[in-house]
Structures are given as structure tokens and as C-alpha cells.
Structure 1
């Protein structure tokens, strides 16, 4: 058991976070690592680092990424929509809900709620910018949904979301999922082997 800490930078809009998240958490469980959750503003990160949002990619790149999603979906036996009805949307309120839920209830509630949001986007065609949708998701996780959503909509929660994004940029993050272990950045759900090796290293 490594006992190491990994900072997990993620977006609740990313198909790669949806596909990679369960395997990452299995690695965390098996290595005894501690996760520091950092939901971030992915579009802001793209703008700051020269990245290109999916909708602005060339047709060839869009087609390849769609095929990659299909391949990973089949390989992992995780369903995914080819054309989600609500992507992209403003993810700020959803991310802020995760932040305040963690503050109120601890780490254990973060990933189940985040994966519910991700599946909402990529499987169930739900709009995670809609407060009613988020309230229902939080309630389905057994949380005090109304109270948490009210806290998520405050300037203080927004400031923490922006601080997470600034921290990601300072760490060299340019996309998601990103994992920082001992100051070393690992990017992509297809690099989880390296994440596991880093967490197991002495």
C-alpha cells in the first residue's frame, strides 16, 4: 500500500473522465492512495493552454475522437452516446456542487456524484447545467440536495472552483483527466498504467 496522494483534476463534461474514472478509483483502492479532488473549468483551461474544444476541432479530428470513444466504450463495456444532447454546457454549477458536497460530507461522496453527472451527459442525455437535474442527482445520492445546491450557487463556491482551475494551470494541466503525483503530471485515461506505477513506487 503506497499511502501516496494523487491530485485528480477533472471535468464533469469529459467522456475520458467518464470512461477512465472507475479504473482510476480501482487503482486508488488497490494502492491505498489518497485522492485530492479538483473539478476544473475545462474550457478555461483550453483557452489558457492553446487547446481546442471538441466542437471546434476539424472534421477529421472529430471523427477520430468519436471512433476512439466507441472503441473504449466497447473495450470497457461502458455505454456512451455518440451525440449527447447536452454537450457542451456550463459545468460550473455542477462542479461547485461537488465542491460543497465534499466540504459537507467528505471525499467519499465526490466520485459517486461526479460519475452520476458524467453518465448523465454521456449516457442519459441529461443537462447538468440545469439546477433541477443536479438537485435530483444529489438527492439520488442520499444528500441534502436543496441545501447543497443553494451553497453551490454562492460566490464563495464559484471562487473555490476558479481557484481549483488556477491550481490546475499552475501544475501544468492542459486537459483531463490529469493526475499529479509527487509533483509529476500524468495526462489521459489511457495513461493509467503510469499512474498506477507512480502510486506503487517507493
Structure 2
């Protein structure tokens, strides 16, 4: 069974634009996904990247065109300047980590629900009520928002170290157990082809 480590930030618009395509690809190939939310902004500093606020205006201008374009391409609602961004990513990340440990629900749906809350619904994913609703709608116990905070913090920190060790420098980032790496939601078709043995 193929295994995919999925590195992402709950603040990433590109992770939102991935939708649930990773889960669809994994199901098609019988692949196992390990969800690894991590501190992307810290990773930028450790891997030669630049935080969005510090990027050259030309890069920001391109981002402002590319994000809505990709949203239209995938028929997804999208707000380029959401009311609640950036916010503290830790609570939502900890909830995803706790849900993965607990099992019993749909992690892909949970992750996408949290991302959609920011980029399409103008909701604040650092708020307990938003996280609880996302947990419940994905089939998890909403009380997971309050449990395992220490473990969540430790895992979140370890995910950053794992990301740097695995050569991750952006999000979303997919690392297959074959050693192949795919950066960006626009490389999901290549991931699919790789798992098919065609790439």
C-alpha cells in the first residue's frame, strides 16, 4: 500500500484549493495518508523561503492573479483577502492531530472544512466554535478540540522538524514513500500519475 505524508498549513490558500483531490487520488490507489499540519511560516525561514508579507510586489501581484484563477478553474468559492487571516493556526492544527489519533471520522473532510472556513466562509479558525463544528461535521467528537493539547503541541512541533528533514519548503507538499515529492495543489495530477506507475 502506498503511503503519502501530507504536509500542509491550515492557513494556506493553496492547501484549500487542493480541495479533496488528494483523498480521491489516495482512494483510487489504496494509498494511506498521514496528515501533518505544520508551522509553514517558520519553515519558510528555515528553508530559504520568504513570508508572504515580505515578498516582492511582483510576487504578490502574481499571487493575487493566480489564486482566484485556480479557484475558478476548480469551481471553488474563494476570497483573496479573508477577514480572518492570518490567525493562530495552532488550535485548528491540534484538532486535526487529535482527530487523526482518535480515528473514526473523515480527516480529509475535516481538513477541507477548516480551510474552507477561512478562504470561502469568512470564519475565524482560531475560534473554538468553528473548530468544534468542523470536527462534528466530519464525524469526530467535537470535544477533541479540548483534548490532547500537549500532545498536539508536541506533534505540531515535530511535524515542522519532519518537514524540514523531508525537504519540504512550501504547502501543500506531498511526500510518497517511494521518495518522490510533489509541491503544490497543481501537482496532484502528477502525484496521481506517479501512483499509477506512469510518472
- Taking structure 1 as the reference length, the TM-score comes to 0.91
1:116 pairs with 2:113 = yes
Separation in structure 1 between the aligned mates of residue 120 and residue 95 of structure 2, nearest angstrom? 20
Q: Provide structure 2 residue ranges, at least 5 long, that are not aligned to the other structure.
A: none
Secondary structure, aligned partner of 1:8: strand
Secondary structure, aligned partner of 2:158: helix
RMSD: 1.6
Among candidates 147, 153, 157, match of residue 158 of structure 1: 153
1:15-51 superposed Cα distances (whole Å, 9 cap, x missing partner): 1111113222221122221111111111111121121
1:175 pairs with 2:166 = no
Shift of 1:101: 0.9
1:186 pairs with 2:188 = no
Q: What count of residue pairs does the alignment treat as equivalent? A: 197
Among candidates 84, 87, 106, match of residue 86 of structure 1: 84
Separation in structure 2 between the aligned mates of residue 187 and residue 8 of structure 1, nearest angstrom? 10
Separation in structure 2 between the aligned mates of residue 25 and residue 144 of structure 1, nearest angstrom? 21
Secondary structure, aligned partner of 2:106: helix
Among candidates 184, 191, 195, match of residue 199 of structure 1: 195
The residue aligned with 1:16 is 14
Separation in structure 2 between the aligned mates of residue 171 and residue 21 of structure 1, nearest angstrom? 23
The residue aligned with 2:145 is 149
Q: Provide structure 1 residue ranges, at least 5 long, that are not aligned to the other structure.
A: none
8 Å CA contact 1:102–1:109 kept in 2: the answer is no
1:69 pairs with 2:67 = yes
Separation in structure 1 between the aligned mates of residue 53 and residue 21 of structure 2, nearest angstrom? 27
Shift of 1:186: 1.4
Separation in structure 1 between the aligned mates of residue 87 and residue 45 of structure 2, nearest angstrom? 16
